Amino acid sequence: MQMRYAIRLVIDYDYPGASDHVRNILRLMPGNGPDQQVLTSALTITPPPDERRDGIDFFGNATTAVAWHDPVATCRFDLTAEVERGVPAPLTDTSPSPAALAADLAALADIGPAAPHHFRAPSPRIPPDAAAVDFARAHLRETTLATVVALGEALHAEMRFDAGATDANTAPALAFANRHGVCQDFAQVMIGALRGIGIPAAYISGFLRTDPPPGQPRLQGVDAMHAWVRAWCGAAMGWVEYDPTNAKHPGDDYITVAVGRDYADVAPVLGAIRTAGGQDSRHAVDVVPLDTPAPPPGQQEGAT
């Protein structure tokens, strides 16, 4: 059965030092995928930018490049979308052992957007971390998929979810050393660990349904954009998603926005601002099944 969601995301920026020439790249709009269909989507930007170009990046994510020519003191990115989400097909483990993945990879002569090769080497925000790799080695299982699940569950058990302990620029090695963080840290630690044992792993940003269906627990990460992991489980199985923050395979309550090697590839708002002062941002998300009335978005600080 298909779920239909109304999504509303509002991000506000204040520039106390009145900024000169703001230029941003936004990755906020969900795209179509195997279990995901975008019915409508609109991104409203205020004040209206002098330049706006909608495009697709290397990994296939929707991007919006915007620029203001005159100084702006505040700006708002306001996304509304309706997305249909199917239930992912149940997984049957046909993945090879992690050691046998190399042969599958060597046979794959592809550098297209979905090719696993992009997700093998360390990436700018996920440099090698020996401690995370040692941790991963301790959770090697017979098959790649079983390893992914074992590692994800172990990280979930080992690391404490703490919205105040890290920020968007915390190095995964530090988050892992302190055994705490938010969804971005859980995802990046798991990605680094998987790559360290030869399993290609990607970073996914997206949304979670805000209120769980009756009788189910509320998930961590509903208050802002969420992050989880995609691991390559061999030529036969391909990519499998896993959410280490909630220790589960994403279901029909997950909506994908962007995929990349790490946070830098999918950051919702990348910005270059010439300003003397700092900046301040607020971020609010609501994902509501369409037969339920949508409450106004609550204001939340920071991201998960």
Give the binding site for another protein (CB under 8 A). 20-21, 23-25, 50-51, 53, 55, 57-59, 65, 67, 69, 105-106, 108-112, 115, 117-118, 120-121, 124, 264, 270-272
User: What is the rounded (10 degree) CA torsion for 68, 227, 265, 46?
Assistant: -10
Q: Residue 111 or 157: which CB sits closer to another protein? A: 111
Taking the complex as a whole, the smallest distance from the CB of residue 25 to another protein amounts, in Å, to 6
Q: Give the nearer residue to another protein in terms of CB position, either 33 or 271.
A: 271
Shorter beta-carbon distance to another protein: residue 57 or 211: 57
> Judged by CB, which is closer to another protein: 1, or 109?
109
Q: Could you tell me which of 260, 296, 273, 258 has the C-alpha nearest to residue 78?
A: 296
Q: Which is nearer to another protein, 96 or 152 (CB)?
A: 96
The least distance separating another protein from the CB of residue 115, rounded to whole angstroms, comes to 6
Pairing outcome for strands 72-85 and 3-26 = antiparallel
Q: How far is the CB of 259 from another protein (least distance, A)?
A: 12
Residues 58/155/178/198 CA torsion (nearest 10 deg): -50
Cα separation of 275 and 181, whole Å?
30
Least spacing, CB of residue 170 vs another protein, in Å = 15
Rounded CA-CA distance 206/210 in Å is: 12
Nearer to another protein, 277 or 295 (CB): 277
Q: Which is nearer to another protein, 38 or 133 (CB)?
A: 133
CB 66 within 8 A of CB 272: no
The full 3-state SS of 214-283, as one line of letters, equals CCCCCCCCCCCCEEEEEEECHHHHCEEEEECCCCECCCCCEEEEEEECCHHHHCCEEEEEECCCCCEEEE
Q: Considering the complex, what minimum distance in angstroms separates the CB of residue 68 from another protein?
A: 11
**Cα–Cα distances in angstroms (integers) from residue 110 to residues 58, 105, 202, 231, 241, in the given order:** 14, 9, 16, 17, 21
Q: Smallest distance from the beta carbon of 111 to another protein, in angstroms?
A: 5
Question: At closest approach, how far in Å is the CB of 57 from another protein?
Answer: 7
